[in-house]
Structure 1
Amino acid sequence: MSSEQPDAQQVTSNPRPREDVAYEDVTDNSFVYEFGGPPGAAAMMLGFPVLMAYQFLCVYDNHGHFLLPDSLGDLGPWAGRMAQRYWEIAAPSWAGARIYLGFTFFMVSLAYVCPGPVMYGYKLPSLNGQRLAYKCNALWSWWTAVITSLVLHFTGLFRLTQIIDNLGPIMSVAMLWSFFLAAAVYAVTAARGKKHRASGNFIYDYCMGVCLNPRLGSLDMKLFTELRVPWPALFFISLSCAFKQYEQLGYVTPELVFMVLAHWLYANACNKGEECVITSWDIFYELESWYLLFWNLAGVPFSYCYTSIYVLQNGPMGFSIGWNVMCFTLLLVGYFFWDTGNSQRNRFRMYWNNTLIKRNAFPQLPKSFIKDAKFLQTRHGNKLLIDGWYAYVRKPHYTADLVMSLSWGLIAGFGSFFPYFYLTFFLIVLVHRVGRDDARCARKYGSDWDLYMKTVPWKFIPYIY
């Protein structure tokens, strides 16, 4: 174990090379079926849109109550009624297309023109060790979008309440757009003969992707679709609900104030820490795919917004001051550990990759960077952080994320399951992700990983799990 750190802390276009290129080359070119292979991929591509449509009808059209058939014999007619009702209130429309695609292309234009530092990712074995450059201007784009939207709303040029009024058609457009974009990425990649880790099965390859780094000039599509659309869109849905409630009641309830704050904190953190994301597994390894595009462009904003819609339709909720204070406290405490935990982990990586820079984005929290951090030096070459929050558990940022997602449900009470969908779904995702990460790291580090797990034995909560 060591706390030795390099002297330099500046950005460079030629950072210190990693020592694990040989392993990463093997990993980058290996292939294994995930999610049950082609049948699982087909089930996801059918099931996720159906799930989103069902949830939308339950929350938007039925005040958060489950819609169920009267009997097993009614299942077919019930499905027909559900499909007909969805088409009536959520069919794609020109209004929905203008709002969703207008927002998306506005964010694309900001990605090209806003200022920001140029950062470099890890060496990519698929590009013979080349490092890709990323223009990290998400923070400027985010704040430009927020200010522009408020100007449009208060001048009457575009009332933000149009988002919640047209939410169904907007969601349908988003789902169709993600299918189209995934098909375009697949077709262009196949036409260029650049398929990466392809299985040879069209359904699986379309779902899980065959392109590692799709780019439109300086715009990295994978980084863009992970940060610039999903979380800002989620924030604007909640903000739209707040403005709608103000029109209805003349004030905004604490529950919707909470959700606007929660989604602003999340979107702001994702965009202010963009430079930390470029060294993540998602960017380094995951393929741009229907799976990523659908969930980022449609799933995140239109599945995680149900607490906001529920409290709009059922408000004012009438909870006690103590209950609301508890929820706000959970949110803010969870956010502190989530923001600082992600920062500790990613800035440790950037420090040793010689790409750490000083950012003054709001909010700057204490404990975001650990000076002289302790780490476990592996024979493989990488350093495993065992300091800060990572001295107590291996995934503190996941724990904090779950605390925040719990607060998103509690603020709506216990009258509906749907405010807790995010918590439920996210827990399933994290369990899968932790298992995948542990298996990958065990192969990568061998006995050093065993030592690491003895040094930091707990995954989420010290002395519990």
Structure 2
Amino acid sequence: MVQKGSIWYLLHYHIIPPVFIVFFIIIAQYLAIVGQGQTFTWELALSNYLGDATSWKWTSLFVLWSIIWLKVPSKIVQGPESHFGAIPNYKTNGVQYYWATLVTFFFLQALYPNTSRTIYMHFPKIIGVFNAYALILCIWLLIKGRLKPECPEDPEERKSLIFDFYKGVELHPHIFGEDVKQLTNCRIGMMGWEVILCAFYMTGVEQHGFITSSLVHLLLQSVYIAKFFWWEVGYFHTLDMMMDRAGFYLCWGTLVLIPSLFTFSAAYTVLHPPTISAWISILIGIIGLVCILLTYRVDYEKQIFRASPNYECNIWGKTATYIPAEFKDSTGKIRKSALLTSGFWGIGRHINYTFELGTSAAFGACLGFDFGIWNFLYFFFILILVFHRLYRDEEKCKNKYGRFWEKYCKEVPYVMIPGLW
């Protein structure tokens, strides 16, 4: 708990949020401009923030498309109950949405061959429009959360106006009748990443012809994104959905930072074709694919464990073992839970993050090392994010489970690298 009146309290709630807001708004536009080989200037950046008719049209159509797909009748699943008793509902048509969007994109590409190049040439302005949409959404979420929250019983104390804008007020707000975080994270952000990757790849092929490493890069990230939609129900049980409120940090990040940062290496290779050997790139791609599959396997083990009645299931061909645990909910009621000690969860408390880092490293390495840090911006971002989440995970579990978590840490002493750390 941060002590009110302390320097850390001042930094955490009043200084860091506005600094981060300004910094990341600028850096997103910087990446979009530099990725096209242009020199960043404030005049150019300000012009891009306003967008143009083409960027507003494409971005608005994509946002509308994403909203419509959440309106398509689909199976409803419940997410985990929040600490104040709210149980969110989510749509489960992510796989259908993913493939329908890809088919539509390539249909448009066939019908209008300049589609990919148009997206590439207008990309900084597209990021500017996404930024405008995201800021409007965050302002609306702040006002709505403060004046008319959907769950008034949420006991979290308001810290400051700027902090509420940055971190968000409500945990599960809705817009157009749909969950805000599912719309921004699971639909617009993740699928926008895929569409932009495809557009940049097609532009690169048009510019330089076929390059194996560029295709490996596209396919590897596409498998990663497709895996996300396949595993979407599991994502509803992550920190993003369970603990992070809908505000600038999460919603702006998925609407703007994912399209600008996560696609940067693809944009960069349009003007700087990779020269890495095809076979080395393929080998790195295979390593990345293995990391993606292992990440999925780790998450799947926990998913089937949670879904099994009385936690009775087999993992690695053996009956799953676990530590029975208890925790108090927000009402003071004792609830029962379990901490899995079988499979991957028995050899590392956060080994899923190890494979995630391996995947992100492969994204950059499959394009080669000729361009220094540029191909690895995504890796360094994920590296920082992983260690931040690692700290949050450990603190959350320690506070929630207490002595049961201490027992789990003794039984599973390694964090990410078995035998080392």
Q: Where on the TM-score scale, by shorter chain, does this alignment land: which range?
A: 0.7 to 0.9
Partner deviation per Cα, 1:56-93 (whole Å, 9 max, x = no partner): 3333225xxxx7xxxxxxxxxxxxx7212434667511
1:200-225 CA-to-partner distances (Å, cap 9, x unmatched) read: 41111111111111113652111221
Question: For the Cα contact (< 8 Å) 1:234–1:263, is it kept in 2?
Answer: no
For residues 208 and 411 of structure 1, the distance between their equivalents in structure 2, rounded to whole angstroms, comes to 35
2-side partners of 1:370 and 1:460: how far apart?
A: 23
Q: CA deviation at 1:184?
A: 0.9
* CA distance in structure 1 between the partners assigned to 2:310 and 2:248 by the alignment: 31
Change in Cα spacing, 1:193 to 1:297, as seen in structure 2 (3 Å) is: closer
1:314-335 residue CA offsets vs partner (Å, 9 max, x unmatched): 11x2322342133112211111
What is the DSSP-based 3-state SS (H/G/I as helix, E as strand, rest coil) of the residue aligned with 1:309?
A: helix
| 1:308 alignment partner AA | A
> Is contact 2:13–2:160 with CA below 8 Å preserved after alignment?
no
Match in the other structure for 2:218: 260
Which residue pairs with 1:241 in the alignment? 200
Which stretch of structure 1 is more off in the superposition, 276-285 or 298-307?
276-285
Alpha-carbon spacing, 1:166–1:284, altered in 2? closer, same or farther (3 Å): same
Mapping of residues 421-432 of structure 1, within 5 Å: 421-432=377-388
Q: Equivalent residues in 2 for 1:302-321 (5 A)?
A: 302-315=260-273, 317-321=274-278
Matched, 1:48 2:48: no
1:331 match: 288
The reply to whether residue 185 of structure 1 matches residue 176 of structure 2 is no
Q: Which amino acid aligns with 2:179?
A: D
Q: TM-score normalised to the size of structure 1? A: 0.80
State yes or no: 1:94 paired with 2:53.
Answer: yes
Q: Secondary structure at the match of 2:108?
A: helix
- Pick closer, same or farther for the CA change 1:56–1:159 going to 2, 3 Å: closer
Alignment pair present for 1:434 and 2:410: no
Which position in structure 1 is the counterpart of 2:360?
Answer: 405
TM-score (norm 2): 0.88
How large is the RMSD of aligned CA atoms in angstroms?
A: 2.6
Q: Does 1:451 align with 2:417?
A: no
1:375 and 2:331 are equivalent in the alignment: no
Letter in 2 for 1:184: W
In the alignment, is the contact (CA less than 8 A) between 2:49 and 2:131 conserved in 1?
no
> Is the CA contact 2:77–2:92 (under 8 Å) kept in the aligned structure 1?
yes
Which residue of the other structure, out of 230, 234, 244, is the alignment partner of 1:286?
A: 244
Q: Give unpaired runs (5+ residues) of structure 1.
A: 1-31, 68-80, 357-366
- The answer to whether the 8 A contact 1:409-1:420 is kept is yes
Whether the aligned pair in 1 keeps the contact of 2:322 and 2:338 (CA below 8 Å) is yes
* Aligned positions of 1:76-87 closer than 5 A: 82-87=41-46
Q: Percent of aligned positions with the same letter in both sequences?
A: 19
Within 5 A, what are the aligned runs for 1:353-368?
A: none
Q: CA deviation at 1:417?
A: 1.3
Query: Counterpart of 2:95?
Result: 139
Distance, in Å, in 2 between the alignment partners of 1:462 and 1:383 is 22
The residue that corresponds to 1:174 in the other structure is 130
- Taking structure 1 as reference, are residues 131 and 90 closer, same or farther at Cα in structure 2, changes over 3 Å only? closer
- Greater length-normalized contact order (CA 8 Å, ≥ 6 residues apart): 1
1:77 is matched with which residue?
none
The code of the aligned residue for 1:140 comes to Q
Higher mean Cα deviation, 214-223 or 305-314? 214-223
- SS at the partner of 1:107? helix
Aligned length: 402
Q: What's the offset of the Cα at 1:191?
A: 2.6
Q: Retained in 2: the 8 A contact 1:142–1:232?
A: yes
1:238–1:256 contact (8 Å) kept in structure 2:
no
Kindly indicate whether the alpha-carbon contact (under 8 Å) linking 2:345 and 2:351 is maintained by their aligned counterparts in 1: yes
Report the Cα distance in structure 1 between the residues aligned to 2:96 and 2:318, rounded to whole angstroms.
Answer: 28
Q: Which residue in 2 is equivalent to 1:61?
A: 37
Structure 2 alignment gaps of length 5 or more: 1-7, 328-335
Choose from 385, 401, 411 the match for 2:340.
385
- The 1:36/1:328 distance shift into structure 2, 3 A limit, reads same
